[in-house]
Structure 1
């Protein structure tokens, strides 16, 4: 049994994140960007990691504006690079100073197609892009986060409702959920928490890049069959990540945010 001090007790509300620092990997759009805006609005310092320098610059400006005009320049920092690259992550943590939380939303939907038609290279790329980013974040976070710090991954509801042609990306998402539970046990002696948010259909640029979902009408129709009658917003999805950062009594969990879609 670990002899480390118990994990700190504090308010589980998002306001407790004021003054803490979050590293967001894959934060130039969608849920990652929304998380940055919400975190800055409650007074957290935010380090955004993204591949595209132009999109990263726009994201930094948007997140900075969420904290009001009197925030110091280092309250929002952008680091350009691949979120699966350990050198990029090292720079992000160095720029953060003391990082308290890490959110990984990097890695879109890749490798879709019938399994018999997938090349070995495609399968490797699919696994490296998503699972590689998760492991890289875990390796960096394991030695840098304090007791009560958190590492949060993302997955999707197709893990429990598989669709044809999605074998490779769903295998990766399932692996991330398993990694979550394994890391929660491994990092428990350090009191670092590890969780995953399993998202349903969320109105993001990624969703709207899918065939037939490039208009407001199409997105509304797609969400109409869910119990709550619509797709979720990026802010609703990102708020779950803030909950997991703030609540010091949650670890090893996969929380579903899908408007009840898995029930329909």
Structure 2
């Protein structure tokens, strides 16, 4: 493999699974601004169409159930070769203490975020060009759980382990993950707006930054991991200092 330095994203083709909203969409916008060709994927055709309205005309979008291996395999046949794969897909997060935990809901959340990532790596890796990468997404609750975050914390920890294992399994393809703190995205859309804002304000007031993050700030981490040709098997934490307080 060539000994490349930090490289530009100009001219690179990037597949973003879950790239139609939140962190994924902001990463797609930021990469496109640097001259990359982006392909966004969602299970919702409406979300794909909405995302394409804010991306360059050259951008493409596909729909696929990322929890269904046959659809994932078909997706990568459609995309063809590419340079970088970003996985930010996931359903809304639900907090629940153990006695009230709905096991079926928990299994579904883990299926998409964990098994979906494995399926994406399995079928996407053969299409990745030399010097390419995969970047997964995890959360700070995996490192510092709180009550009610049992499933979320367990899943986040599993994705960290998966990241390191895939970095070994797929080398020289680089595999990393972004570990996100609390960010203003639609993952808490199930909460009433007033309760959601109160939650963001309460959490943000305790952080070293004095506020929660926004998707544009998280996108910078994904851009770095795509460019950073000597970085693999790493978890980049972007959390406003939550692990320190």
Q: Give the TM-score of the pair, scaled to structure 2.
A: 0.91
CA distance in 1, matches of 2:216, 2:195: 19
1:147 is paired with a residue of what secondary structure?
Answer: strand
The residue number in structure 1 matching 2:6 is 11
User: In structure 2, the residue corresponding to 1:179 is in which secondary structure?
Assistant: helix
1:182 aligns with 2:174: no
Question: Is the Cα contact below 8 Å between 2:92 and 2:190 reproduced in 1?
Answer: no
Which secondary structure state, in structure 1, belongs to the residue aligned with residue 118 of structure 2? Answer: helix
Contact between 1:23 and 1:99, CA under 8 Å: does it hold in 2? yes
How far, CA to CA, are the matches of 1:248 and 1:92 in structure 2? Answer: 26
Q: 1:218 to 1:124 in 2, by over 3 A?
A: closer
Contact 2:64 2:75 in 1 (8 A): no
SS of the aligned residue for 2:136 comes to strand
Q: Are residues 205 and 122 of structure 1, via their aligned partners in 2, closer, same or farther at CA, if it must alter by over 3 Å? A: closer
What's the counterpart of residue 213 of structure 2? 232
In the aligned structure 2, how far is the partner of 1:120 from the partner of 1:223?
30
- CA contact 2:42–2:65 (8 Å) conserved in 1: yes
CA contact (8 A) 2:143 2:153 kept: no
SS at match of 2:127: coil
- Say which SS state the counterpart of residue 110 (structure 2) adopts: helix
* 8 Å contact kept, 1:23–1:92: no
Q: Does 1:205 align with 2:186?
A: yes
Contact 1:201 1:207 in 2 (8 A): no
- SS of 2:128's partner is coil
- Where does structure 1 lack aligned partners over 5 or more consecutive residues? 1-5, 65-72
Asked if residue 60 in structure 1 is aligned to residue 52 in structure 2, the reply is: yes
CA shift, 1:24, in A, is: 0.5
Question: What's the secondary structure of 1:181's corresponding residue?
Answer: helix
Q: 2:14 aligns with which of 14, 22, 27?
A: 22
Contact 1:23 1:93 in 2 (8 A): no
Written as runs of structure 1 = structure 2, the 5 A alignment for 1:134-173 is 134-173=117-156
Task: Give the length in aligned residue pairs.
Answer: 244
- 2:105 and 2:80 map into 1 onto residues whose CA distance is 37
Q: Name 1:51's counterpart in structure 2.
A: 43
Secondary structure of the structure 2 residue equivalent to 1:108: coil
Of 24, 39, 62, the residue aligned with 1:32 is 24
Describe the SS at the equivalent of 1:195. Answer: strand
Distance 1:62 1:156, change over 3 A: same
| Aligned-partner SS, 1:224 | helix
Contact 1:193 1:251 in 2 (8 A): yes
Q: Deviations over 1:92-111 (max 9, x none)?
A: 43443321111111113446
Q: For structure 2, which runs of at least 5 residues remain unmatched after alignment? A: none
| Conserved? CA contact 2:175–2:233, under 8 Å | yes
